[in-house]
Structure 1
Amino acid sequence: MYARVVAGTVATALGTVAALLTPTFDARAREVRVPTVIAHRGASAYAPENTLAAIDKAAELGFSWVENDVQRTKDGELVVLHDDSLQRTTNVEEVFPGRAPWKVRDFTAAEIARLDAGSWFSPAYAGARVPTLEQYMRRVEHNHEKLLLEIKNPELYPGIEQQTLKLLGNEGWLDRRHLGRLIVQSFSADSVRTVHELKPAVITGYLGNPNLAQLHRFARFTDLVNPSYGSLSRGYVAAVHAFTGPHGRPLRLFAWTVNDADTARTTAGYGVDGIITNKPDVVRAALGSH
């Protein structure tokens, strides 16, 4: 009798796992999806990435969703910058020649505020600055934009999740009116989980492509799975959509970084929910989206 009970329990468990890993399809899944277009680091093909000019350019082109990257300075200020070094996108070598490797965490906010973050891109943007997250959020609000915020390198900045959420709250971005305009994502599953645990109402995204056996665990704390477009297939996208996320809705998927028309059409054909791009106008034209 004991053996029969155990066998039945194992069969039930295996059936549950199989159900979790088998995509289910309904009328919504058969609909043609028109992906949301997200301006990567702002409209970064046309203005210096992660600057206020880049999100202004996205707004000028008619795009409401922008993506950015958040790091932390030596004195604890949150700033918007992709790399953990200031070297590629500012004149830090010229201003502070003796301080290689010019890591963000080794400079104060006041020092970073002195740097030119635009000339590397074009003389037309000379004098653009690395914005603080506070400055950035205020410009996003002014532009009536929506934000896909990436917590960058959280292992370098202990507690950055709580600090980021506190700043977002102080700026009014954790109220009911703003929560639909905000997604917080990271390449770190632990960081995404921490954001979800601290503020369960916030929509979260994991940057990567968990395998099918892992998706049910990610669905406990993330609303989106956001992989590189090159890793995608129609079957994988369908598998992601088959899971229900922490807010009771199917998981969504934003693909990055797509910058040409052919790739945009191919990626959209997989059924993705969003496409992250440096050239949002090119993707929009390719998809015929608005």
Structure 2
Amino acid sequence: MHARAVAAMTTAFLGVALLTPLSHARAVQSGDDDGPAVIAHRGASGYAPENTLAAVDKAAELGFRWVENDVQRTRDGELVVLHDDNLRRTTDVEEVFPDRSPWKVKDFTAAEIARLDAGSWFGSRYAGARVPTLEQYLERVEHNHQKLLLELKNPHLYPGIEQQTLKVLANEGWLDRWHVADRLVVQSFSADSVRTVHELKPAVTTGVLGTPPVSDLPEYAEFADQINPSHGSLSMSYVSSVHAFTGPHGRPMEVFAWTVDDADTARRVAGYDVDGVISNRPDVVREAMDEDTDDAGGADGSRGGFTVGR
């Protein structure tokens, strides 16, 4: 615990300096200092198997400071990073455990899940990749000096997952003031789950996934810093409506749009003045927004850059 806390403090002061000149330049372009943040969805999942350490590393290689992941819980209470509530789509669970249908995450122990190949489905070069535990994932994100948008997946299946996730984050040094200031956001489709996180740890930046009616935004502003909708549900007026409310940390509420993988959509949602864009192909989004800025002769009309957690 103490060693991790010291490491976290060191990273907070030295993290940017430890980036290579190229990756630092790309990080700036990715939204930390100008325009919307670009968040690598489940890691750079267009180029590596989603929610694996390889996808985190690919995002870092491309120069992206923000990665998004999904958290679920095993039968014996371990938190693992996986999008689906079953293991079929992204592992070889049907081959390893053919008699365990329907292969739900909650029906397998962490040791059993650790045996599964979570990379071959994406390509032979990733054969043998594993489903990481939340601890393993946090360690890799920390090692890469990245930031984390963490989604509590299916919290109704895992009572108490909010408190358990916060405990893991604390044990790994992610709830100190340097991390909660601008390196961590916890989000969920469940507003109740987000409210619970806020009540348990008010310092943590939180987001609600979806597009709630504008009439409900005053209630959400009590416990959520962000409203994070599908890009197809967005309009400029909706984004403006969200920005008009002040979240629980005294800042205008923000909007992260998902999941944007093509240049035209990236330019469209950036034009709505969103604060972040979540993408499987973050390099495509970054390039499109950079081109749009160059064509416009500057970033006029932006909100002055990404400010979450500051």
Tell me the TM-score normalised to structure 1 length. 0.88
Q: Report the counterpart of residue 44 of structure 2 in structure 1.
A: 43
Instruction: Give the 4+ runs in structure 1 shifted more than 4 A.
Output: none
CA deviations over 1:75-131 (Å, ceiling 9, x no partner)? 000000000000000000000000000000000000000000000000000000000
Q: Does 1:76 align with 2:67?
A: no
SS of residue in 2 equivalent to 1:253 = strand
Q: Which amino acid aligns with 1:49?
A: E
Deviation of 1:34 after TM superposition, in Å, equals 1.4
Q: Distance in 2 between matches of 1:110 and 1:157?
A: 19
Q: 5+ residue gaps in structure 1? A: 1-32
The answer as to 2:189 corresponding to 1:187 is: yes
> How far does the alpha carbon of each residue in 1:205-236 deviate from its partner, in whole angstroms, 9 at most, with x for none?
00011111100000000000000000000000
CA distance in 1: counterparts of 2:214 and 2:225, whole angstroms: 16
RMSD: 1.0
Which structure has the bigger radius of gyration? 1
Q: 2:221 aligns with which of 204, 208, 219?
A: 219
Q: Secondary structure at the match of 2:203?
A: coil
Cross-structure match for 2:299: none
CA distance in 1: counterparts of 2:161 and 2:265, whole angstroms: 34
Give me the whole-angstrom Cα distance separating, in 1, the residues matched to 2:260 and 2:81. Answer: 22
Q: Tell me what 1:256 maps to.
A: 258
Distance 2:36 2:157 in 1: 33
Q: 2:243 aligns with which of 241, 244, 256?
A: 241
Deviations 1:222-260 (A, max 9, x none): 000000000000000000000000000000000000000
Check if 1:154 corresponds to 2:155.
yes
1:231 aligns with 2:233: yes
Aligned counterparts, 1:50-129, within 5 A: 50-129=51-130
Identity across aligned pairs (percent)? 76
Give distance in 2, aligned partners of 1:210 and 1:47: 32
Amino acid at match of 1:165: L
1:5-38 deviation per Cα after TM superposition (whole angstroms, max 9, x unaligned): xxxxxxxxxxxxxxxxxxxxxxxxxxxx711000
1:175 partnered with 2:179: no
Partner of 1:276: 278
Structure-2 separation of matches of 1:34 and 1:200: 27
Q: State the alpha-carbon separation in 1 of the partners of residues 228 and 102 from structure 2.
A: 30
Q: TM-score, normalised by structure 2?
A: 0.82
Q: For residue 36 of structure 2, what is the amino acid of its counterpart?
A: P
Number of equivalenced pairs? 258
Partners of 2:214 and 2:114 lie apart in 1 by 44
Separation in 2, partners of 1:142, 1:133: 14
